[in-house]
Amino acid sequence: MKAAYRRILLKVSGQSMAGPDGFGISTPRIRGTAQEIADVVALGVEVGVVCGGGNIIRGINASAEGLDRTAADYMGMLAGVMNALALQDALEKCDVNTRVMSAIEIKQVAEPHIRRRAMRHLEKGRVVIFAAGTGNPFFTTDTGAALRAMEVGAEVLLKGTRVDGVYDSDPEKFPAAQRYDRVTYREFVNRNLGVMDGSAILLCQEHDLPIVVFNMEVPGNLLKVVCGESIGTVVGA
């Protein structure tokens, strides 16, 4: 198989790391994700990863329940760091050299986020897991993923979810929902399609970075997307 991209940024949702109950860290699920990434690395692709933390806590939900929004968002960032460390361990068990770089300083467990150092790691074939989003409250990990993709010069942003693309309504609630094979940035925002944060979409639009939304839970899908197969939904110009 031949890769269609030289460098990618993969956004892995926290929910995709959870077990069947939808919360916590599922070791088998993370091992599966690590093996998927290892298969991509074996093709010579440089891989950056951003982990969400929604399987542990979602800042915006905690804020709606009365917790201070800034505190809730920082808690969400720390949850993302926990997921990043779990994924790093699983990747290294697959013999993939991995570095965790955090946007908030936790020097005992992760390197600080320094763009040039991250790019150097990628050039050496190491997977770089970008943790703690942007390091700022009020920004989602989707926006953090778009930002990191721009910084390191990724050719595509891959959004791994529990559904197989972008739909006109929630397919988990509405079985008749229609899936898009391709949608423009503007259509995505205007129709409020909701799979990804609008700020992240606009950032990708500004820099003409294509996005592929696909089902990360189907074994082999990540490799197929990286090899250019028509999996999921492409969001682009």
Residues 158-190: tens digit of each pLDDT: 999 888 899 988 887 888 889 999 999 999 999
The domain of 190 spans: 7-236
User: Does a structural domain hold residue 62?
Assistant: yes
Q: Which is higher by pLDDT, 129 or 217?
A: 129
Q: What is the mean pLDDT of the chain?
A: 93
Joined tokens for residue 17? 């790391």
**CATH code, 47:** 3.40.1160.10
Are the C-beta atoms of 225 and 214 separated by less than 8 Å?
yes
Q: Report the candidate in 181, 176, 175, 178 with the shortest Cα–Cα distance to residue 213.
A: 181
The DSSP secondary-structure symbol of 10 reads E
Residues 62-98: tens digit of each pLDDT: 777 888 999 999 999 999 999 999 999 999 999 999 9
Are the C-beta atoms of 201 and 211 separated by less than 8 Å?
yes
Residues 111-122: tens digit of each pLDDT: 999 999 999 999
Residues 195-215: tens digit of each pLDDT: 888 899 999 999 999 999 999
Percent of the chain predicted with pLDDT > 90 = 75
Joined tokens for residue 106? 């936790």
Is 52's pLDDT higher than 80?
yes
Q: Report the candidate in 127, 149, 129, 159 with the shortest Cα–Cα distance to residue 45.
A: 127
pLDDT band at 192 (very low <50, low <70, confident <90, very high): confident
Q: What is the pLDDT of residue 1?
A: 82
- What pTM was computed for the model? 0.93
Counting Cα atoms < 13 Å in the Cβ hemisphere of 97 gives 7
User: Does a structural domain hold residue 166?
Assistant: yes
The number of domains in the chain is 1
Q: Report the candidate in 190, 227, 211 with the shortest Cα–Cα distance to residue 142.
A: 211
Distance, in Å, from the CA atom of 114 to the CA atom of 143, rounded to the nearest integer, reads 18
User: Does a structural domain hold residue 59?
Assistant: yes
User: Does a structural domain hold residue 1?
Assistant: no
Is 48's pLDDT higher than 80?
yes
* Alpha-helical runs (H) found in the chain: 27-41, 59-64, 69-93, 115-123, 141-152, 185-190, 198-206, 221-226
User: Does a structural domain hold residue 193?
Assistant: yes
